[in-house]
Chains A and B, each alone.
Chain A
């Protein structure tokens, strides 16, 4: 998530609050952080202050913020202030891509994981509960992503968050990013499915056999559990999306995987073919997992065609137009979170720049074939 930094004053421990930029210097609702370029004389009722100026206020504050970073903060955003002066944006009021991180434990060890799951004891759950309680009730929340780590590992916490989302944002779609393994247990799958009626289960499947899939996810037995998870979800009549990260280990197998999915999981409501984000574990394993997207153009084209012929709903995530054959441009989606999305200097000359999904600013390696499209 996006983090900016200023100079800390009087911050004894982390503070979580909702940003307001309104100049009313007195506030009576709790958990509100005033963000203002001009520090007023009196600041009453706020839990903290964020400013581009130097702060003399007695309440906790982060000051001397770069004005670009300050402008990036919006009314209603929920942030966490650290003792070191960091401002972490946990929830963007204007975004449709807000994500709740429930933990950083995982029961898989994917060789291209963009994170580093550390299994820390950090109190993610209480932070996320706090975030949800702070989201302005007047805001219409259309969508919430839930991820981790593996969010289903601490089941009670997940159920609690799902219930809260159901009660507070009854119309919000929930994308639950899970490897599906715990869902192999029908009771677990059922409890999750019943905790919120609007869940889309986003589950990765990287190859059509256990040998290949398990090698990629770094854990034997995963393929079988995930497949059983899919079947439990269809029994529960819940929609599933299949996520396929494209990497060295599977790009030659995409068409066979398409046929496997059609034959065994024809009920999938969406298939996402995803360019890899080279950060975290993936960046450590770069030599092993990296494949320049230009290499798999043909394989990607063919498998998109296979899905399309089968009337399956397919999308391409995280890949810019210049790396895709023109015939499959229409499947490319704007999938990269705004704060992570980037373009290269040469992209300025590209005529497709405005619609382009862009690249990950977080990736340590980019394709060598990112070139402006000029005709």
Chain B
């Protein structure tokens, strides 16, 4: 809308029938007096967007051990040497954790095994899965499992077990060999890339391509080489990538000067990489950038999206929760990492001593929910992108010492605002082929399902 149009709109009396007014009325930007229906529809739209709240905690992460056979320079979790077995989750803690998980009212429950490297404490992973399945025979939830692993310690026995129990593997790939090995260092000095490649083949044989996803962590080294990384993902048979920025936790803090970058630098690289991915798709290679896909779902569709890290109120504790190896419960991975760095501010309780109500209706989760609604937070409340965004109170706390924080100059805000700017620029340019692709991503279909051209 230009200024003249805006002035004309303001000058119009009630009962306006100008095309612009009607367009804005249809989108519920403007209304005539006493429009009860508009209020009802807006309420429904808001309820639809916030539908993720009704099921409460769906994602339950269990830190099976803090030990790891790798020392990645960006490790958020500050992994511990494999020899120190006192950082393993014991069966007592695992059992109590699963008992607590099934007290959540969510109709669908996903249990994610994390670390450290969970395969180093495989017996507990296995027993936990078997026990959870047993409990679910009565609880009858839609139950899923994911193991987050570097797959170095993968064995045929583990693959078979995963296949039998329909367990997905979420692993990590940082690009071509030099980049991967440069950042994902195995403790024994062998190439973690070679090991990854070999074991990925074995895992895919058992679990199929859909059963093994990979996560990319972007360091300073990656910024200039993202197209190469993307090519590598395609070559390895992955159908998408999440272009994820580093978070300021764990080893990433100490190594920041080597691996870190500014949000502005990240978004420049992100935008170029997104262009590259778009071109790949238009040239016939289906490949999704998952963060863009998530944001597009929010921009283009009226539906709720279940991404824990970008919700309002924050998904911390409400959508996802993490159980540390010692039974301590935190609202998010970052809160657990913060605890490892010495600050237990977000400790919600312990599975060994506290009840479900004490933990999930306690002061930590209430405080987080109250202080993480972007609709009411200063700065966010008037942001045009508020509808698509969310709060990250734990990160604000880490950066500013306060869960509300000061967002306009936070890296989180700068990154998201600029990425959304870029997505809107592309939408605004109106290249029909790209808009078709974006709709395909937003509705999780292939490009050919979205286009109209008769074959």
Contacts and interface: CB of A to CB of B under 8 A. Distances in A.
A42 B102 CA distance: 80
A47 B405 CA distance: 87
Contacts of B44: 231, 264
B13 interface: no
A327 interface: yes
Interface in B283-309: 301-303
A305 B445 CA distance: 15
A305 B432 CA distance: 10
A227 B37 contact: yes
A305 B44 CA distance: 26
Contacts of A190: none
A259 B439 CA distance: 13
A309 B442 CA distance: 9
Contacts of B450: 308-309
Contact of B302 (A266, A301, A304): A266
B40 interface: yes
Interface stretch (B22-30, B202-210, B327-335): B22-30
A151 B450 CA distance: 37
Contacts, number: 65
A210 interface: yes
B26 A208 contact: yes
A38 interface: no
Contact of B443 (A212, A253, A311): A311
A259 B26 contact: yes
A257 to B, nearest CB: 8
State the majority secondary structure of interface residues on B.
helix
B452 A304 contact: yes
A305 B451 CA distance: 8
Contacts of B26: 208-209, 256-257, 259-260
Nearest to B19: A252
B454 A329 contact: yes
B157 interface: no
Interface string A189-213: 0000000000000000000111110
A327 B445 CA distance: 19
Interface in A98-139: none
A137 B22 CA distance: 52
A263 interface: yes
Interface of B: 15, 17, 22-23, 25-27, 36-37, 40-41, 44-45, 48, 301-303, 435-436, 439, 443, 445, 450, 452-454
25 contacts: A208-B25, A208-B26, A209-B25, A209-B26, A210-B37, A211-B15, A211-B22, A211-B25, A212-B22, A224-B36, A227-B41, A228-B40, A253-B22, A256-B26, A259-B26, A260-B26, A262-B301, A263-B45, A264-B41, A264-B45, A266-B301, A305-B452, A311-B443, A311-B445, A330-B454
